[in-house]
Copies of this chain bind each other. A is one copy, B any other.
Amino acid sequence: MSVQQAGSRGEGVQRQRRKAARPSELSAAALALFVEKGFAATRLDEIAARAGVSKGTLYLYFDSKEALFEAAIRDGILPLVEAVEAQAERLAGDPERILREILNRWWAGVVATDLGGIPKLMLAEAASFPAVARFFYENVVERGRRLIRAALECGVQSGQFRPLDMEIATSLFFVPVLHVATCGQSLAFSDACVHEPRAFLENHLEIYLRGIRAEKKGCSR
């Protein structure tokens, strides 16, 4: 099932020359396996097999296993981050709505696809690949947090939300969102929430918003 999806029918294993498409195919195959088994436990032969090429071909496009790892993370997550940012820009003004939309986007783009494994992967491998960790932090975590923080600040400004420690409040919104992606990928926690990730995120938003809204006037204590 995992071996040679391209060019293996019959006996004469037919080669294909597809220079343009290869890099993204290879990084996609690599990402899937890294997510599934971790960096160290993933063999280059497996990656090659899944992409329907030989191991040697990997080295035509990437210098090393580590370079492939970087590319896999990069190609996997950046498009999504950009999509979320674009969406948020369109909604500037209504903080609760922005938060809700970030959730929806994240749901559609990460949790429901195999991209959910990336945060888990980063968590696991960050210590061994500081450069990649830095890239991920700056281009995903930071940018995501910026969107959330902006929405919260807007809400506090307008009086909808009570005064908050911005950094922490940002994290507290962020964390369950991250968790859905991460844990959806891991037996050790999977049952812990994620049979209903949709409902999980809804409930999170509900509790979180109630938790940060300003008290109603006239209602003492």
Contacts and interface: CB of A to CB of B under 8 A. Distances in A.
Contact of A186 (B126, B165, B175, B208): B126
A124 B203 contact: no
A211 interface: yes
Nearest to A212: B207
B193 A141 contact: no
Given A133-B187, A172-B204, A219-B219, A123 B125 contact: no
Interface residues of A, number: 58
Given A123-B189, A192-B145, A216-B219, A128 B175 contact: no
A137 interface: yes
B186 A176 contact: no
Given A171-B200, A203-B172, A187 B38 contact: no
A199 B165 contact: yes
Interface in A182-204: 182-183, 185-189, 191-193, 196, 199-200, 203-204
A9 B144 CA distance: 52
Nearest to A200: B168
A187 B127 contact: yes
A136 B188 contact: yes
A180 to B, nearest CB: 9
Contacts of A40: 38, 40-41
A153 interface: no
A64 to B, nearest CB: 16
Interface string A131-164: 0011011000100010000000000000000000
Interface centre among A123, A169, A212, A221 (most CB of B within 10 A): A123
A55 interface: no
25 contacts: A38-B125, A40-B40, A40-B41, A120-B123, A123-B183, A124-B125, A126-B187, A127-B187, A133-B186, A137-B187, A137-B188, A137-B189, A167-B193, A168-B203, A171-B176, A171-B192, A172-B193, A172-B207, A175-B176, A175-B179, A175-B193, A207-B211, A209-B211, A210-B211, A216-B221
